[in-house]
Amino acid sequence: MHLAYSEDGKPFQALNHNSGVLFAKATQNENGTLRAKSLKNPYLFRMADGTFGVVAVRTEADGQQDEESRGAVLFFASDDLLQYQEIGLIDLQSDAYVRDVACEYDESSRAYVIRWSDENGGHYRNRIEDLFDLTGAGAPEKAEPFTLVAVSADIEGMQHRNVIRVPRETADRLIGRLTVPENVAIEVPDCITAASAEDLKTLKATAVYSDGTTAPKSVDWDTAAVRWDQAGTYRVNGTVRQEHYAFPVAANRADPCIAKWNGKYYFIATNDADGNQTLYIREAETISGLIQAGESLILDTQTYDHIKGLLWAPELHIIGDELYIFHAATTGEFFYEECHVMKLREGGDPTCAADWSMPRRVVKRDGADLCEAGKVISLDMTVIQVNGECYAAWSERQFVPVDLGAWVYIAKLDPKEPWRLTSDPVLLTRPDFGWANNHTFVDEGPFALIRGGRIFLTFSSAAIDATYCVGLLTADVNADLLNPDSWTKGNYPLLTSRSVPGEYGPGHNSYVTDDEGVTWNVYHARPGVEGPRGTGIRRVHFGVDGYPVLDLTEERDLNPALAGVSIEVIVKRD
């Protein structure tokens, strides 16, 4: 289901880059595998309590009729049209497949009326007092055909459904969350009292965005005309600084990670140039310096007997003042891929291979291997440190006896021996939404961003082609992170091939905060549908509700017409 909005009922504009906001969940087969589902003909309506409901026809992934949905419609509930809960199939007491559906609340009878048609052209209606009672619908009655009001919209691929009015507060939040904000103003104080150019350097401009959010921006001030040894008032001009990172910043580098260690920045990534046989690291004084920095080999498939290839998704993590690299590798074949950890020796140089320990395999709390070799693989392990606790999150995929797809797990991690779990793994997410299982069933690449009392755990889904995308799990920092109920999974991805023109299959991202306090999203994507994976860097904006915005491009982040600012500088001398 997609959403579009209009202020006056005239031409509608697509939200969320014309990507879906609501997907049917997969069902589970007896052997544990998932069966992907899709939906068609969604109908949005107001519930009796003022919240929202959606009814839709559930289908198989390819659009064919879903046997389990015979004589039933799928029902969702939502408070805000951003987060939806799939309640289940409402039984319409019929053996016919539903072709189309609509629903409204009838105030006079205090019941909902579900209108629907079947594949034979028959039209019916059922009454039900409580939609959450999936078996509570009355018997179907023959009814007149229902029609949908036409709207004016030029939206690619649109299959028109219904129109609903929403409160201004709901609309503003929807537009704020489902459109990319843009810079509409730059604010600086009228004047500042300063004793030196250094005082002025610390002053930040405030960028104001169309959704009402703001972000601090550094300014390059021209203070040549200021006499710091002479009291007076001076008009100083400046230019708001905008870091430029043209995509890609590193070709043939995927699953990228940047971290700061002992005053320097380090970049590491999967090396697609040689078929994932080596890991190289870059070092620089700044994030931008990493782009042209040289590379140092720190791991290959020749050094250790148990490391034979498929060196995937390296991540740099600082745990207890020690630097580690978490990565995946195989002892031979693909089906033996497993999470490993390397530790930098005390006083070691991260760019020196000899200063890194031999990779050791991650084990469970009892010392057993994390996965059964040859049957289950593990990869993409990351570290989450919050409230003095250390956690690992990773992706795991069972292939034998059946392929379950890749699922993301979490467990506590021993900070003194971070290759050892100290709790049993807990399932966080599996690829049950359509954007995660359109070619293959994959949830992988988790990485945590902690801000404003919340943990934003992004992860990547689908095949690593142009359909690759970034999903989101959120939890309160004080919640029990080993309780799956503490996490909320978003219904739609934050980043897709529709998000930024020219970047296809974005995903497997990580985050780094620079010396100015700016958080950057480090990710990979493709410069064309069939192009090679390459690394990108883009600022993370924190938009409506404090959620991360990953698709704010440089053009929207800073309007060049607003980049010039000025301020009065008052110099006082004793």
Residue 208 is predicted with a pLDDT of 98
What is the C-alpha end-to-end distance of the chain, expressed in Å? 68
Residue 428 is predicted with a pLDDT of 98
Q: Model-level pTM?
A: 0.96
CATH number at residue 419: 2.115.10.20
Last residue of a domain, one of 131, 153, 177: 177
Last residue of a domain, one of 177, 202, 217: 177
348 in helix, strand or coil? coil
Active site residue 255: yes
Residues 195 and 141 in one domain: no
For 176-222, the DSSP string reads HHHS---EEEEE--SEEE-SSHHHHHT--EEEEETTS-EEEE-EEEE
Residues 163 and 186 in one domain: no
| Close Cβ partners of 403 (under 8 Å, ≥ 6 residues apart) | 33, 397, 441
Q: Which entry of 338, 380, 444, 557 is annotated as an active-site residue?
A: 444
Q: What's the rounded Cα separation, in Å, for the pair 54 and 435?
A: 19
Closest by alpha carbon to 94, among 66, 71, 121? 71
CATH number at residue 197: 2.60.40
Active site residue 91: no
Residue 357 is predicted with a pLDDT of 98
Residues 82 and 146 in one domain: yes
Closest by alpha carbon to 185, among 154, 206, 157, 159? 206
Whether the CB-CB separation of 494 and 470 falls below 8 Å is answered with yes
Residues 458 and 507 in one domain: yes
Residues 143 and 194 in one domain: no
Residues 274 and 170 in one domain: no
Question: How would you classify residue 229: left for phi > 0, otherwise alpha for psi between -120 and 50, otherwise beta?
Answer: alpha
How many CB atoms are located within 10 Å of the residue 21 CB? 21
Residues 194 and 333 in one domain: no
Residues 305 and 428 in one domain: yes
Q: What is the DSSP letter of 556?
A: H
pLDDT averages per 10-residue partition of the chain, 574 residues: 91 95 97 96 97 98 96 98 98 97 97 96 97 98 92 90 95 96 97 92 95 96 93 95 95 98 98 98 98 97 95 98 98 95 98 98 96 96 97 98 97 98 98 94 98 98 96 98 98 97 97 96 97 98 96 96 96 83
Please give the residue range of the domain that contains residue 234: 181-242+561-571
Q: What's the rounded Cα separation, in Å, for the pair 350 and 372?
A: 32
Residues 281 and 234 in one domain: no
Whether the CB-CB separation of 466 and 504 falls below 8 Å is answered with yes
| Token reading at 39 | 């939906």
Residues 553 and 565 in one domain: no
Residues 158 and 254 in one domain: no
Residues 236 and 270 in one domain: no
| Token reading at 126 | 């059922």
Give the chain's domain count.
3
Q: Which entry of 66, 255, 396, 557 is annotated as an active-site residue?
A: 255
